[in-house]
Chains A and B, each alone.
Chain A
Amino acid sequence: MTYCLIAGSVTTGSIAAGCDHKPAPSARLSASAAEQTPAPASTRRFNDLARDYATQALAALEKVDPASTCKLTPAYLELRSAIFAGKAWWRIAEREASEVLLGPERPMVEGGGRLGMLDAALESGDCKDAKNHVFQIRSALRLIQLQLRTFPESRPKSARRLSFMAAELGGVILEATPEVSLSQSGMRADARGLLRGLREGAALLSTDANALNKLNGQIAALQSALVPENDATLLDAPALAGRAELVRQTGSLGLEVRRLIRLADPSATTDLELPFQPSRRDAYAEQVRLGERTDVAVTVLSLPEPRTLTPKSRVELGRRLFFDKRLSQGNSRSCASCHEPGRGYSDGKPRAVSLDPEVPKLRNVPSLLYTASQAAFLWDGRLLTAKRQAQRVIHSRAEMGLTEAELVERLSGDADLKAAFTKEFKDGVTAENVGTALAAFQAATLSPGESPLDRFARGQAPLDADVSRGLDVFASKARCARCHVPPLFAGTRPNDFAISVFAAIGVTTTPTSKQLDPDLGRFEVTHSKADRHVFKTPSLRDIGLTAPYFHNGAFKTLEQVIDFYDQGGAQGLGLELPNQDPDVRKLELTAEEKRLLLKFLREGLADPQESIEVTP
C-alpha cells in the first residue's frame, strides 16, 4: 500500500498513478475550519500514563527470571513493550534512572543501558551478570515510578515526545536505535510498545473522534504488521519484511500526531514538534498544509537539513576553491584531485598519495558526500567539522602542504578571488574563510538525496522489490543499520546527528589475509584501550562509487566487504580483538541475501551521477 499526502489528509493510492503534492485549495479551507474548534483535552496527565507503564514494567520484571531460563520469555517481551511505551516521558521526568535503564539519550558508548545488557545476555545465553542487570532495571523503574508522582508535567513537552516516538518507531523497525532489542521478537515488542504509547498518549491529547480514529487506524495497520502470527512465533519471530514501507507509514503517523497536538494547543509550533528538520527537498515533497500552518512527514529515511545554510555566493566561492590547485604546494593538486566528483568524491586508490616522503602511508580517501550532517571527520574522527577537515588537509604537509600565510598570500594575489572573499567575509582572505567556504560548498551541494530510497521516502517513486528486500536484510540479519544509521547510513543518529559512532571491526591487511591491519585508528586520538583499531563509521550512501574500501583501501569490491562482515570480522577469523563491536559477528548470509544486500547498497543508495557531479 502506498499513500499520498494531500492537504492535511492521508489518502491511499498508487504512486505509479501519480500523486499531486500541491495543496488543494478546497481541502485547505476545510482543514482550516476543522482546526478552529479545539477539542477538549483529557484531564488525565501524561505522568499518570507514564507511571502506569512503569508499574506494568515492574510487574513484568517480577516474572523475568534470567537465572533459571536464560532466554526470551513472554514476560521479558512484556517488560520491553511497557518500557518502550513509557520511556519517552520517563526520560523527561527522571533522567538519571532512565540512563541507568536505557543509557543516555545521546550515548558516547552505546549499548542501551541495563536493558540492553540484559537483552545481550538473553540473546547470547550468558546470564552470569543478569541478576545485577535485573536489580538495576528494577531500581530504575521504582525510582521512575516514584518520581512521576510529583514531577511537574509540561504538557507541550510531553506531547512533543509523541511526535518523536513516531519517528523513533521507524528507527526501531530498521533496528537502528541504540535501544532496540537484538532479537526479532524483542524488536517487535519494542515497536509494539511505541505504538501503544502513541495510541494511549494521543488519547490524552484530544477527544476529537475523527482525528483519533484516523490515527488509530494507522496504528492498527502498523500493529498488524508487527504482531506475531501466532503464539508459536512470539518468542522466535521471523525477520520483518517490507520495512521500507512500514517506515514510510511512520511519517504519516507523525503527521497525524502533530495534527492532534495542534488541535489540543493551537499555538503549538510545528518546528518544535518535528523530530528534526528535514531537508528542503524532503519538506517540499511531503509538505502538508493545515490552515495557515504547514507540516512535513519526517521519518528516519528523511534527510536532515544541513546545520548551516549559507548564501549561494559563499557556496560558489567554495566551489571555485574546491577545484583550485593553488591550494597546494607546487600547485600540484586541488581538493578535487583526491575527492574526484566522478568517483563519489574519493579517488579510487587504496590510500591517498602523500606529498611528503616522510609521511608515506596515509589512509583511504573518505568520500565528501553527505558530510553536512556528520559529527566527526577523518577515519579517526579527530576533527569535528567539515571546515576544520578542509583546513587541516590544506595545511597538512602530506596532503596539500600550505601554511596559513602561504595560502592567504596566494589567494590574495588573485584580484578576482580576493574580491569574492571580500564580498563574502568582512576580513577577506583568511585560512578560516577558505575552510568556511569549502564547507559551505560541501553542505549545499554534496548531499543530493536523489537515490531510489530517497525518492521512495518522499513518495516520488516506488521502490524496486529487490532493493526493498535488500534493505530488510541490511536492517535485520546483516545488522548493518545498528552502526550505519539511516538516513545517512553513517555513524550519526537522528534526531540531532550529534555524535559519531565509531567501532572496531577488525579490518585485515587484505581480504584474504589473517592479519589485523596494524593501524590503531582512534586510539591515536583518545589513548583509550577501548579505541584500539577503532574507526569512524562512514556513510554508505553512493558506496558503489567509492571503492576500494575501509581505512586501508585493501578491499577492492563490496563483495569482499560483505564476505568480511559475514565471517565475523577479526574475531571470526580467530584474531585477537577484544574490543570488536558485538554487532560484528558471523552472519551466515545466504547467497541470495548477499545478492539483495549488494543490490540495496549499489542501487538503493546510489544517487544518479548527474545529481552528484559538480564541475569546476
Chain B
Amino acid sequence: MHHTTLSSRRALRTVSYGALGILGGLLVLAACSSEEGSAQEHLGSGGSAGAASGGSAGAETLPGPEEWNRDVTPPSTEAAATGRTSCQYKAGALPKETHGAGAPMGKDIPIDHILVIMSENRSFDHYLQGIRSIGIDADVAPDTYTNPDENGDDIAPARDTAYCFADTPHSWSSVHRQINGGKMDGFVTEASGSHETPMNATLEYIEGKRALVYNTEEDVPLVYWMAKNFSIGDRYFCSVPGATWPNREYLWAATSFGEKGNDFPQEVDKTIFTYLNERQLDWKFYHQNTPSMAMLLDEYFKYKAEGRFFTLDDYYADAEAGTLPQVAIIDPGPDIRTWEGIDEHPPAQTDIGQNWMSNVVRALIASPNWESSALFITYDEHGGLYDHVAPPKACPPDDRRDSLADGEAFDMYGVRVPFFVVSPFAKQGYVSHNVYDHTSILRFIQARYTIPALTNRDANAEAPFDMFDFDAPPARAALDVPEVAINQERLAKCESIWNQ
C-alpha cells in the first residue's frame, strides 16, 4: 500500500524539482528564518526530494551519469578480496567491480530503506566486554588485558560505576599514544593526562582508570538485545585514529579531505549526498541540534536550502506512515547539556542514549517499511575508551594531507567501535569478523543503488553483506525492543556534578 503512496508523491516531486528547484531553495531559506519546524513539515509533504522508483532498481537503468550504468564483469570473490586488501581499487570503482561475482547488487538487495545512526564515542570493548555472558562469541579483551597507569601499576578493566565520567581524550595524537604501536595499552595514561574536573565529583570521574571501564547488559540493554537478535561486527573500526569530525567525514565522503582534527575541511568536492542526488534518490537527514554533517559547511547550506533536514519527530512520523526515504541519517547530535545527551558522548549517561535508540528501533520495527529496511548503528570513534584490538592498515582515500605532518598518513583505521545491523534480513546472533569501517556502510548504499566509490577508501571497503541473509532471512520470534529505563537517581547525581 505505502509503495503506491510513495511513488505518486515522488512523481509529484519530480515536477517540482525540475521546474522550481532554485526557487524552492529560496523559499526554504526564507521559511527557515521564521520557524524551522513548520518549514520542514511543509517540505516533508511535497518538497524537493529526488525522484526514483526505489523498488525497481537493478537491471533497469537508473538516472544519473551514464558511466555508472556501465556493464561490469565482476572479478572472482578471491580476486576481489585480494584487490581490496592491497588497496588496488580506486575512486569511481563500482561495488560490483570490487566485490566479486557472488555478492548481491542492486535490486538483489531487498532493502529499500537504508538507515544509519552514528552515535558518539564508545569503544567495542567498553560496550561489549560482557557479551559472552549471553553466548555471543565476539572478540573482547581477555582477562589478561591491562594498561599501566602513570605509576607503572597494571590497571584492569572494571565495570563503570560513575555513569557520567569525564570525557576521555581522542585527538589524533592522543589516539596514537593509546594505540601505542599496536600494544593498545595507552588508554589509562592518556586519560590521566587529560580531564575536565567536575566540581562536585569524586576521583573516579576523572582518573585515568575511567578509560578502562565497561558496561554490562544492565547498563546498555539495547546493545545486548541487538547483539542477540541481529548481527554485530567485531572487526569494525572507525575510519581515522582521531576525533569526531574526520571520522564523520568518512561516513559522509569516504575521506576527511586531509583533515585529522575537528577543523572545517576545505575544497569539499563531493559526498555521498552528491551521488544520492545524481541518482535522484529520496534521502533525509533527521537531527535535533546542529546536524553532524554541518562541518561540510557549503554542503550543509546547500542541502538545508534543498529541504533535506528534518526533526527526530519527523522520523517517527515517517516510520509510522511508512514513508521512510531510501536513505536516512538519524542523527542524535550533540546535546547542550552534556550529561544527558542522547548521543552517548561522555559524560552522557548511557541509558539516555539507549532509551532514545530503542525508540528509534521500535518505531522502525513497527513501521510498514520494516520488511525492506536495514538500520546500521555505529559510533563515530572510541572516544578514548579502551579496546584491545590493534587497528589494521587502511587504504588512504586520496592524496590530500591538508593537516598531516611529515610521516603521517590516513593509512590506519581508528580503534574498534560497536557495529550493529538491525534488519529483518540480518542474521540472528551473528558476529562478523570481517574488517569494516564507516565506508563499509557507504559501500552498502552504493551496492544497493549502483553508485561508484567516492575515494580510494570506500573503493576498497567491503560492504557488510555477510551480516545479512537475503535469501533465507531468519525466522524471528516477536521482536520486543527492550524498554530502556533512564535511571533517575543517577541522572540527578550526574546533573549535580555537571550542571555548573
- Hey, which bits of chain A sit against chain B, CB under 8 A? 92, 94-97, 99-100, 106, 108, 132, 135-136, 139-140, 142-143, 146-147, 149-151, 307, 375, 382, 384-385, 388, 495-499, 522, 524-528, 530-531
CB distance from B427 to the nearest CB of A (A): 37
A136-B264, A143-B294, A384-B197 are known contacts. Are A95 and B336 too (CB-CB below 8 A)? yes
Identify B196's interface contact among A132, A382, A385, A499, CB under 8 A.
A499
Tell me the nearest residue of chain B to A277, going by C-beta.
B199
CA distance A307 to B500 in the complex (A): 13
CA distance A466 to B197 in the complex (A): 37
Tell me the nearest residue of chain B to A140, going by C-beta.
B264
CB distance from A131 to the nearest CB of B (A): 10
Q: Are B32 and A139 in contact (CB under 8 A)?
A: no
**Interface 9-residue window, one of B186-194, B320-328, B392-400, B477-485:** B186-194
Q: Are A526 and B192 in contact (CB under 8 A)?
A: yes
Q: What is the interface residue range for chain B against chain A?
A: 35 or more
Q: Are A108 and B194 in contact (CB under 8 A)?
A: yes
Q: Which residues of B contact A530 (CB under 8 A)?
A: 173
Scoring B residues 290 to 312 as 1 if CB is less than 8 Å from chain A, else 0, what string do you get?
Answer: 10001101001100100000000
CA distance A99 to B275 in the complex (A): 31
CA distance A528 to B300 in the complex (A): 36
Q: Are B197 and A94 in contact (CB under 8 A)?
A: no
Number of A-B contacts (CB under 8 A): 89
Q: Which residues of A contact B190 (CB under 8 A)?
A: 526
Q: Are B193 and A526 in contact (CB under 8 A)?
A: yes
Q: Are A146 and B203 in contact (CB under 8 A)?
A: no
Q: Which residues of B contact A151 (CB under 8 A)?
A: 289
Identify A525's interface contact among B193, B262, B304, B336, CB under 8 A.
B193
CB distance from A415 to the nearest CB of B (A): 31
Q: Which residues of B contact A147 (CB under 8 A)?
A: 290, 294
CA distance A388 to B192 in the complex (A): 14
B177 in the interface (beta carbon within 8 A):
yes
CB distance from B208 to the nearest CB of A (A): 9
26 inter-chain pairs at a CB distance below 8 angstroms, sorted by A residue, are A92-B336, A94-B290, A96-B262, A108-B169, A135-B264, A136-B264, A140-B264, A143-B290, A143-B300, A149-B32, A149-B36, A382-B192, A384-B206, A384-B207, A385-B203, A496-B197, A497-B197, A497-B199, A498-B197, A498-B199, A499-B195, A499-B197, A525-B189, A526-B150, A527-B189, A528-B177
B488 in the interface (beta carbon within 8 A):
no
CB distance from B250 to the nearest CB of A (A): 17
The residue among A139, A147, A375 with the most chain B CB atoms within 10 A of its own CB is: A139
Q: Which residues of B contact A132 (CB under 8 A)?
A: 266
- Hey, which bits of chain B sit against chain A, CB under 8 A? 32-33, 36, 150-151, 169, 173, 177, 186, 189-190, 192-200, 203, 206-207, 262-264, 266, 289-290, 294-295, 297, 300-301, 304, 334, 336, 500
Q: Are A496 and B192 in contact (CB under 8 A)?
A: no
A94-B290, A498-B199, A527-B186 are known contacts. Are A146 and B193 too (CB-CB below 8 A)? no
Identify B199's interface contact among A146, A496, A531, CB under 8 A.
A496
CB distance from B482 to the nearest CB of A (A): 30
CA distance A17 to B139 in the complex (A): 76
CB distance from A188 to the nearest CB of B (A): 29
A95-B336, A147-B290 are known contacts. Are A528 and B173 too (CB-CB below 8 A)? yes
CA distance A108 to B414 in the complex (A): 22
Q: Which residues of B contact A524 (CB under 8 A)?
A: 150
Tell me the nearest residue of chain A to B338, going by C-beta.
A95
Q: Top 3 closest A-B pairs, CB basis?
A: A526-B193, A139-B264, A498-B197
Q: Which residues of A contact B196 (CB under 8 A)?
A: 106, 498-499
Q: Are B193 and A528 in contact (CB under 8 A)?
A: yes
A142-B297, A382-B151 are known contacts. Are A525 and B33 too (CB-CB below 8 A)? no
CB distance from A485 to the nearest CB of B (A): 15
CA distance A97 to B300 in the complex (A): 14
Tell me the nearest residue of chain A to B297, going by C-beta.
A139
